């Protein structure tokens, strides 16, 4: 089993605090990217909106979530005792699973994979953000 990521908020308040901490970093990434794309002042003011900054922060938060990757038996062993809802994306006959357990709800978001652990982890992070964290942090 392998762990990827650095963010596993223990409470909704912790999730909100981590999200708030990432807002300035995400703004700086957007500003730098816009500068590299050659946006002038007018284009920047027109195209780089609060929605763009919020989307960048959402993506940054999600990309940092802790995800476990391992065999189907490791997944089962790690999650069978949890009381939260389990959402598994993918085919049941695939050998490996990537998953994120939401510490404050014991909900589990998972995706099966054969060879592409990074892609499965990214899918899990996006799904976990959309189904759990987005409501908590926005």
Residues 115 and 36: their CA atoms lie apart, in Å, by 34
Domain ranges of the chain: 8-63, 65-137
Tens place of pLDDT per residue across the chain (138 aa): 999 999 999 999 999 999 999 999 999 999 999 999 999 999 999 999 999 999 999 999 999 999 999 999 999 999 999 999 999 999 989 999 999 999 999 899 999 999 999 999 999 999 999 999 999 998
Q: What is the pTM of this model?
A: 0.92
Query: What's residue 138's pLDDT?
Result: 85
**Residues 28, 29, 33, 36: is their CA dihedral positive or negative?**
positive
Strand-pairing partners, residue 110, are 88, 99
Contact 98, 117 (CB under 8 A): yes
Query: What's residue 77's pLDDT?
Result: 96
């Amino acid at each position: 089993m392998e762990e990827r990521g650095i963010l596993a908020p223990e409470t909704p308040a912790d999730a909100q605090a981590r999200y708030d901490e990432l807002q300035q970093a995400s703004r700086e990434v957007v500003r730098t990217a816009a500068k590299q794309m050659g946006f002038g002042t007018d284009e920047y003011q027109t195209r780089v909106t609060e929605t763009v900054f919020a989307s960048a922060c959402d993506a940054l938060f999600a990309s940092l979530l802790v995800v476990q990757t391992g065999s189907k038996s490791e997944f089962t062993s790690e999650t069978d005792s949890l009381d939260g809802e389990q959402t598994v994306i993918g085919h049941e006959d695939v050998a490996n699973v990537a998953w994120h357990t939401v510490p404050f709800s014991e909900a589990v978001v998972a995706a099966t994979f054969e060879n592409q652990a990074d892609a499965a982890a990214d899918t899990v992070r996006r799904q976990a953000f959309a189904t759990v964290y987005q409501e908590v942090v926005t």
